Chains A and B, each alone.
Chain A
């Protein structure tokens, strides 16, 4: 365990506490390995996700605003938001609050003061700033499998608000993965939507969209898809294989934090790769652990 020398705010969001619990585990393990303490925003609430902005504009601003207000109250400056959807909503809210009249209205709704000095970071940004500077020295299991980095819609769009990477053919996640030892593929579905929140109400459409994404990555030689969003993960992991129908084994979907965790030698419990619906076989992806041969625990398929 490294010494804890940094504190960063942390907004897990509802997914990380629920169906994407392994994402949370891997993020915490990863942060810990680099001496970063992630402090949760006190009494945080749901950001509203898709449902709020579809049905009520004020609600879609007020819910994230309460989170930001609570963070400000706790003296936080940087907040890691591993879920791309939450990240997007929080960033959009911060942007909207730059307008004085909007800010006044929202402050009245949540009855709390809002501080403009907060910065929300997505998983990739967090890695770039806090992890990557010290990554090289910690790599124990370099990757040899080619991966496809899937950004989805909400990490890079709208650019005018997020100012992160670029909207066409982004490279930030690719560069991180390349540090782990292997090339990433160039592919056209990098930022094509997986189907997002329609996963229950229009499963057919999500299957189509996610299926196309997984099929394309596989056809271009990727052996895993790396994501930075629990919604994308769920859709690609659950639905993506439903429509592929290929003879080849379905390719696993990894969270960026899991890939990094694997590379620096964290075990399966720490990375949480056993919780996926599509099985992950580390020995197909990265080199063996140098000191000891760890037999990964596999949970049997149901």
Chain B
């Protein structure tokens, strides 16, 4: 059970968060708005990370919970040891995508994020119509919120054309440099 280069170490190196500081008091799970909908709650995720084995790391990366986490920071603001749990979640999400083991139930959430960033990559700003169409195409959820669309349009909330920044090249270069490439989930 001697795996040194596991997730806990990566978290420590890249975010300076030490998972060993968690003494399992449960306060984070207690205050998390979506704890009851999660497969593994935040305190259990910290516990699993403390094990430092491949099996437990995979369990964490495959969980639905890391994608349900809203990064609302409620846990962070109340943790007695000031552990940046949303910071841990960000890294787990990135790692989960990198290793290609996202939870099946969370795929649409990832698709949504990708759709969002796709549009930003193209125009430099987000554009609801484009993003929604992109998302529906990725997720095949054509009929969600259909009733809402006309209302939003009439209230002036739906633009039909995107706004584009002048220096689009700068944006594209940014995306290339951060190695964020367009990819279908």
Chain B residues within an 8 Å CB radius of A49? 116, 126
The answer on a CB contact under 8 Å between B157 and A54 is no
In the assembled complex, B148 has its CB within 8 A of some CB on chain A: yes
Among candidates A109, A157, A198, A299, residue contacting B155 with C-beta atoms closer than 8 Å: A299
Contact with A along B51-79 (1 / 0, CB 8 A): 00000000000000000101111101100
In the assembled complex, A249 has its CB within 8 A of some CB on chain B: no
User: Chain B's nearest CB lies how many Å from the CB of A101?
Assistant: 12
A49-B126, A55-B94, A55-B117 are known contacts. Are A195 and B70 too (CB-CB below 8 A)?
yes
Residue of A with least CB distance to B120 = A46
Residue of B with least CB distance to A60 = B90
In the complex, what distance in Å separates the CA atom of A185 from the CA atom of B14? 42
Among the 9-residue stretches A13-21, A28-36, A138-146, the one with 4 or more Cβ atoms under 8 Å from chain B is A13-21
In the assembled complex, A171 has its CB within 8 A of some CB on chain B: no
In the complex, what distance in Å separates the CA atom of A57 from the CA atom of B68? 18
The answer on a CB contact under 8 Å between A18 and B128 is yes
User: Chain B's nearest CB lies how many Å from the CB of A206?
Assistant: 10
Chain A residues within an 8 Å CB radius of B125? 14, 17, 45-46
The answer on a CB contact under 8 Å between B126 and A196 is no
Chain B residues within an 8 Å CB radius of A55? 93-94, 97, 110, 113-114, 117, 180
Chain B residues within an 8 Å CB radius of A202? 68, 108-109
Chain A residues within an 8 Å CB radius of B80? none
In the complex, what distance in Å separates the CA atom of A110 from the CA atom of B172? 10
In the assembled complex, B146 has its CB within 8 A of some CB on chain A: no
In the assembled complex, B21 has its CB within 8 A of some CB on chain A: no
Among candidates A58, A59, A111, A154, residue contacting B173 with C-beta atoms closer than 8 Å: A111
The answer on a CB contact under 8 Å between B93 and A43 is no
Among candidates A18, A56, A197, residue contacting B159 with C-beta atoms closer than 8 Å: A18
Chain B residues within an 8 Å CB radius of A62? 174, 177-178
In the assembled complex, B167 has its CB within 8 A of some CB on chain A: yes
Q: How large is the interface on A (under 10, 10 to 19, 20 to 34, 35 or more residues)?
A: 35 or more
A53-B90, A63-B120, A158-B77 are known contacts. Are A109 and B177 too (CB-CB below 8 A)?
yes
The answer on a CB contact under 8 Å between B113 and A238 is no
Chain A residues within an 8 Å CB radius of B171? 45, 66
In the complex, what distance in Å separates the CA atom of A21 from the CA atom of B68? 28
Among candidates B70, B139, B150, residue contacting A193 with C-beta atoms closer than 8 Å: B70
The answer on a CB contact under 8 Å between B175 and A21 is no
Among candidates B37, B145, B165, residue contacting A44 with C-beta atoms closer than 8 Å: B165
The answer on a CB contact under 8 Å between A200 and B170 is no
Contact with B along A198-229 (1 / 0, CB 8 A): 10111101000100000000000000000000
In the complex, what distance in Å separates the CA atom of A237 from the CA atom of B163? 25
Chain B residues within an 8 Å CB radius of A193? 33, 70, 72, 74
In the complex, what distance in Å separates the CA atom of A21 from the CA atom of B156? 8
In the assembled complex, A77 has its CB within 8 A of some CB on chain B: no
Residue of A with least CB distance to B115 = A51
Q: How many B residues have CB within 8 A of the partner chain?
A: 61
The answer on a CB contact under 8 Å between A110 and B145 is no
Residue of B with least CB distance to A196 = B70
In the assembled complex, B132 has its CB within 8 A of some CB on chain A: yes
Residue of B with least CB distance to A202 = B109
In the complex, what distance in Å separates the CA atom of A209 from the CA atom of B132? 22
Chain A residues within an 8 Å CB radius of B163? 17
In the complex, what distance in Å separates the CA atom of A10 from the CA atom of B134? 29
User: Chain B's nearest CB lies how many Å from the CB of A169?
Assistant: 12
In the assembled complex, A97 has its CB within 8 A of some CB on chain B: no
In the assembled complex, A184 has its CB within 8 A of some CB on chain B: no
User: Chain A's nearest CB lies how many Å from the CB of B170?
Assistant: 7
The answer on a CB contact under 8 Å between B155 and A50 is no
Contact with B along A246-274 (1 / 0, CB 8 A): 00000000000000000000000000000
The answer on a CB contact under 8 Å between A51 and B113 is yes
The answer on a CB contact under 8 Å between B71 and A50 is yes
In the assembled complex, A302 has its CB within 8 A of some CB on chain B: yes
A-B contact list, 20 entries, CB within 8 Å: A14-B125, A22-B156, A43-B166, A43-B167, A45-B124, A50-B113, A50-B116, A55-B113, A56-B180, A109-B178, A153-B70, A154-B73, A167-B77, A193-B74, A200-B135, A202-B68, A203-B145, A209-B33, A275-B156, A302-B154
9 other A-B residue contacts (CB within 8 Å) besides A55-B110, A202-B108 = A19-B152, A45-B165, A51-B113, A51-B114, A53-B90, A193-B33, A201-B109, A275-B155, A277-B151
Task: Report the 7 A-B pairs with minimum CB-CB distance, sorted nearest first.
Answer: A193-B72, A153-B72, A157-B73, A51-B113, A14-B126, A51-B116, A58-B178
